[in-house]
Amino acid sequence: MDKTDPILITGGTGMVGARLVEQLSADGFSNLLVTTRNDLDLCDEQSVDRWFDQHRPRYAFLIAAKVGGIAANIADPTAFLSDNLKIVVNQLGACHRVGVEKVLLLGSTCIYPRECPQPMKEEYLLDGPLEPTNEGYALAKIAGLRLAQAYQKQHGMKCVLPMPCNIYGTNDHFDLSRCHVLSALVKRFSDAVTDGADEVVLWGSGIARREFIHVDDVVDGMLHLFENAENGEIVNLGPGTDVSISELAGMIAEETGFVGNISWDTSRPDGMLRKCTDNTRLSQLGFRTKIALRDGIRRTILQYKQICQASISDATGATAQTTTRRVA
């Protein structure tokens, strides 16, 4: 990519998109086309087509998606399937129509079967039934990557298809109704310390295992693959190691200073019991992750504390202004 090439980034205010924009800007790319929900409705085909006709990007990083954890997926499976299908079909169709040369479509390791052999290799795709708790989201992701591959095979539009494991880190949110597990645990244990709670009750049994990747490693991996992956194959993006949710909770409890009891609500689902990628293909393409999980946890705890402190400062400022107005 040349520094002045028009480069589209959808989902540019989300966790991954925002970090990608920051990195590309720092690398000197000056013609970034960053979209948000307010200026482009990716579920609206006509809106998408008009935008592409006007801006005509040369390259595209398609990051936008409706995302959420187990609770969000269970609560709204229709939207997780329908909205994500619309988003990917509209984006890829417009990219093809205006002649985008190369597209990166960010996927997810939820595409693999529930009973997938571990670690999960790319060739295990479609070898069995999906995890029911996020089946809608996974089906949309599978349809999207197959559509991208079809565009490359039939029309020559190059596609890069990284499948990251559980992403966390800078710019993540901490809304328990829709956040992912690591951020949720950071919030739960941090709040428990602040509130002086002596117990934290968590979903499931704690035995499920997950692989985590910091968003900075995701962005570095995406950019590396964009330059080095040409054949349209999916590529697992992760460190290739996992931890149990119980182990993760213990690490976060330790880093937040929580010394109370951790209990498990086994009436709640665990989700897929293990999700760990085989990253051989990623390593062969010359990339390895750099940020260790415990270091990433510390960064996330610090971010959450900063958010809480900012919220307190804002509330204090608002109270002071109200008091001043009343005195006046």
pLDDT at position 321 is 62
Mean pLDDT along residues 26-48? 93
DSSP string, 8-22: EEETTTSHHHHHHHH
Nearest CA to 181 among 316, 67, 288? 67
Residue pair 168/182 in contact (Cβ under 8 Å)? The answer is yes
Band (pLDDT 50/70/90 cuts) for residue 73 is confident
Task: Indicate if the pLDDT at residue 326 is higher than 90.
Answer: no
To which residue do tokens 């962005």 refer? 219
Neighbour tally for 258: CB within 10 Å: 22
Residue 90 annotated as binding site: no
Angstrom distance (rounded) from CA 130 to CA 128: 7
Residue 221 annotated as binding site: no
pLDDT at position 207 is 96
pTM of the model as a whole: 0.91
Residue 104 annotated as binding site: no
Residue 107 annotated as binding site: yes
Q: Which helix (H) or strand (E) holds 153?
A: helix 135-155
Task: Indicate if the pLDDT at residue 318 is higher than 70.
Answer: no
Residue 165 annotated as binding site: yes
pLDDT in tens, 216-249: 999 999 999 999 998 999 999 999 999 999 999 9
Q: Which helix (H) or strand (E) holds 244?
A: strand 243-244
Band (pLDDT 50/70/90 cuts) for residue 328 is very low
pLDDT in tens, 99-119: 999 999 999 999 999 999 999
Band (pLDDT 50/70/90 cuts) for residue 35 is confident
Longest dimension (CA), the chain: 72
Distances (CA, A) of 115 to 57, 112, 275, 280, 293: 40, 8, 10, 20, 25
Residue 14 annotated as binding site: yes
Q: Can you list the domains of the chain with their CATH numbers?
A: 7-312 (3.40.50.720)
Q: Which helix (H) or strand (E) holds 161?
A: strand 158-164
Residue 190 annotated as binding site: no
Residue 4 annotated as binding site: no
Mean pLDDT along residues 18-24? 97
Query: Active-site residues: which are they?
Result: 137
Residue 96 annotated as binding site: no
Mean pLDDT along residues 124-146? 95
